[in-house]
Amino acid sequence: MFEFTPTPRVKRSPFYEATVRDGVKSFYPYNNMFLPTGYGNPEKEYWRLINGVSMWDVGVQRQVELSGKDASILAQILSPRDLTKLSIGQSKYIAMCDHRGVIINDPILSMLDEKKYWFSIADSKVLFWARAIAAERNLNVDIIEPDVSPLAIQGPKSVNVISSLFGDWVKELKYFYFKETSLNGIPLLLVKSGWSKQGGFELYLMDGSKGDELWEIVKEAGKPWDIGPGYPNTTERIESGLLSWGGDTDDDTNPYEVRLGKYVDLNVPDNVIGIEALRKINKEGPKRHQLGIILDSDEQFKSHALWYDVLSNEKKVGDMTCGIWSNRLEKNIGLCLVSVKINPGDEVYLSKENKIYKGKMTELPFI
């Protein structure tokens, strides 16, 4: 249909060739790269994640590395979550905010040693942000994007695949903890994490020339459990209530609006970016909150239903940021960012481009 003009600004994931071989059908842009979003059979790919094991090229989740004398100081300045108890080998989910208390990324922060941290980022330019803040605060930190690309292994049978490759110790690894290891000499960080609620691991590949080799090793090891390729699955993540930054957030969204208030520690030092604004928002209460919606309609959304108006008494009260057909609930469901005057149980309407749907607000997660 059309081609992409080559440019050095758009990089390929180390797993790109492997995903093409395995029949990838669609991508979307993320961090100036391409994220695979389907292999031609969405139903099968969904149920494989729910009941089996799925492997995802998530090389787009780039790392922003802080290293040097002031690395830990900068990590805290960028994180409105208390990091004093973060230990080497541990990761934490962070709502990174600007000075207004608005979320500008929601990375996973990992502590590799006393002087080295990685932010595993969503789709925005944390590298520039971190460098600017470090310079303005006169901090002695090196900030780079290292050659690191995650491969996610998700689903209830992922533990079988990962333990067959690395040994039984992986069964003892705690949620959001990691270990540096290797496979056939390929350097890896093995993390118990991933953007699904079906259980799983992420292998952070630390040598981009070995993407193809790693993909094939995992694929071979996963055969007894019928592993197959997948991707960050919108249906599962909506059912599970996982946030998509930039999808479910806009240019004004603070952590309290999207259920990330529990990751904000109001007692962090005053030099943490956004903390003053967050203290104020917390005191006054947010104006919007995130709820689910379940639609009445039998007509299935064919794909992602993005940014529909939510109406109550014929007035706009917010947005459904992403809706989709739920294979498990057998209803159209969606995540909504709505006025705090709207509550679970309320009946509302959705509207976009002459279409109207009736629905009911619910608590999150759906499942």
Q: Rule CB under 6 A: say whether 177 interacts with ligand THG.
A: no
Cα distances (angstroms) measured from residue 120 to each of 11, 201, 224, 267: 17, 14, 31, 24
- Evaluate the omega torsion of the peptide bond into residue 365 and state whether it is cis, within 30 degrees of 0: yes
Among 2-10, 68-76, 158-166, 191-199, the segment contacting ligand THG (CB under 6 A): 191-199
Q: What one-character-per-residue DSSP string does 157-207 give?
A: THHHHHHHHH-GGGGGPPTTBEEEEEETTEEEEEES--SSSS-EEEEEES-
CB of 297 to ligand THG, least distance (A): 28
Both tokens of 33, joined, read 């790269």
Q: Rule CB under 6 A: say whether 121 interacts with ligand THG.
A: yes
Q: What one-character-per-residue DSSP string does 222-284 give?
A: TGGGT-EEE---HHHHHHHT---TTTT--TT--GGGGT-GGG--TTS-TTSTTHHHHHHHHHH
* 53 phi, psi to nearest 5 deg: -150, 140
CB of 35 to ligand THG, least distance (A): 10
Among 189-197, 294-302, 331-339, 347-355, the segment contacting ligand THG (CB under 6 A): 189-197
Q: Identify residues 247-286 at the interface with ligand THG (CB under 6 A).
A: none
Q: Rule CB under 6 A: say whether 238 interacts with ligand THG.
A: no
Tell me whether residue 333 or residue 350 sits nearer to ligand THG (CB atom): 333
Q: Count the site residues for ligand THG by CB under 6 A.
A: 16
Q: Which of 194, 211, 230, 255 touches ligand THG by CB under 6 A?
A: 194
Tracing tokens 């592993």 back to the chain, one arrives at: 227
Q: Rule CB under 6 A: say whether 13 interacts with ligand THG.
A: no
Could you give the CA distance from residue 57 to residue 187 in angstroms, rounded to a whole number? 17
Q: Rule CB under 6 A: say whether 176 interacts with ligand THG.
A: yes
Among 133-141, 161-169, 188-196, 308-316, the segment contacting ligand THG (CB under 6 A): 188-196
Closest C-alpha among 347, 273, 283, 280 to residue 310: 347
Specify whether the CB–CB gap between 64 and 119 falls below 8 A. yes
Tell me whether residue 210 or residue 237 sits nearer to ligand THG (CB atom): 237
Q: Identify residues 82-111 at the interface with ligand THG (CB under 6 A).
A: 93, 106-108
CB of 318 to ligand THG, least distance (A): 21
Q: Which of 150, 228, 230, 274 touches ligand THG by CB under 6 A?
A: 150
Tell me whether residue 35 or residue 183 sits nearer to ligand THG (CB atom): 35
Closest C-alpha among 247, 221, 240, 301 to residue 49: 240
Q: Rule CB under 6 A: say whether 243 interacts with ligand THG.
A: yes
Q: Which of 13, 67, 193, 235 touches ligand THG by CB under 6 A?
A: 193
Tell me whether residue 232 or residue 359 sits nearer to ligand THG (CB atom): 232
Specify whether the CB–CB gap between 164 and 286 falls below 8 A. no
User: Both ends of the chain: CA-CA distance in Å?
Assistant: 38
Contacts to ligand THG by CB under 6 A = 61, 93, 106-108, 120-122, 150, 176, 193-195, 202, 242-243
